[in-house]
Amino acid sequence: MTDVQLSHSEKTKKKKNESNDEEENDAVDFQIKPQSYTPPVDTSQWPILLKNYDKLNVRTGHYTPLPSGYSPLKRPLAEYIKYGVLNLDKPANPSSHEVVAWIKRILRVEKTGHSGTLDPKVTGNLIVCIDRATRLVKSQQGAGKEYVCVARLHSKVPDVAKVARALETLTGAVFQRPPLISAVKRQLRIRTIYESKLLEYDADRHLVVFWISCEAGTYVRTMCVHLGLC
């Protein structure tokens, strides 16, 4: 056979092979379909930082069963109260323990605790922790306190700057003995007053209004006595 005939026969064979491949491609569906089976990935031969990489993301897509918890929209009120904290504005006259006892009786809970005792005549924020939240009480009791005090002086002060200087003198570490009517032993102790500020002075009624930021356990009544001595 001549070279021309050989080349022609080769071309016809190639065309037949191509047509056969096209028929096979049409017969086989190469579309990617979703499947539940995930083939395992062998990472034992991967670099050391990528070994066991396939085991890092092991969180499944299941949800917590309802007997073990509640969805936020369906959580009952009793569950909120169980871990609740009340930021209460304590009125004057009742003691902190009385207010806490009232809350315990009203909410019908097992345990209640407050973040720090306020004197009966003192009004202000009293943080009351309920049931499981009572373990947070100690962390609140040691936190700093802020007070706004109204004190009456026995006599008229000719210069208001003298009162401001007296407050500056009482800033820092000071010795304090709790008053006669108090919930702790009357032992001399050191308390730190971080900052103080004179807000107002009424010369006609001898009233002083000041603000202090102090350590927990500071008695403002004792500070008023010291302010009068200055």
Q: Are residues 193 and 124 in the same domain?
A: no
When pLDDT is averaged across residues 104-126 and rounded to a whole number, the result is 87
Give Cβ neighbours of residue 47 (< 8 Å, ≥ 6 apart). Answer: none
Q: How far apart, in whole angstroms, are the C-alpha atoms of residue 83 and residue 80?
A: 6
Angle of helix 160-169 relative to helix 220-229, nearest 10 degrees, comes to 120
Residue 94 lies in a domain: yes
Q: Which residues are catalytic?
A: 119
Mean pLDDT of 174-200: 83
Phi, psi of 192 (to 5 degrees): -105, 130
The residue range of the domain holding 85 is 74-141
pLDDT at 139 over 70: yes
Of 141, 158, 185, which residue is a domain's last?
Answer: 141
Do 158 and 210 fall within a single domain?
Answer: yes
pLDDT tens digits for range 77-94: 888 888 889 888 888 888
Give the number of domains in the chain: 2
| Whether residue 181 is found in the same domain as residue 208 | yes
Question: Which one of 141, 176, 198 terminates a domain?
Answer: 141
| Tens digits of residue pLDDT in 93-103 | 888 889 999 99
Residue keyed to tokens 């605790």: 113
CATH of the domain at 151: 3.30.2350.10
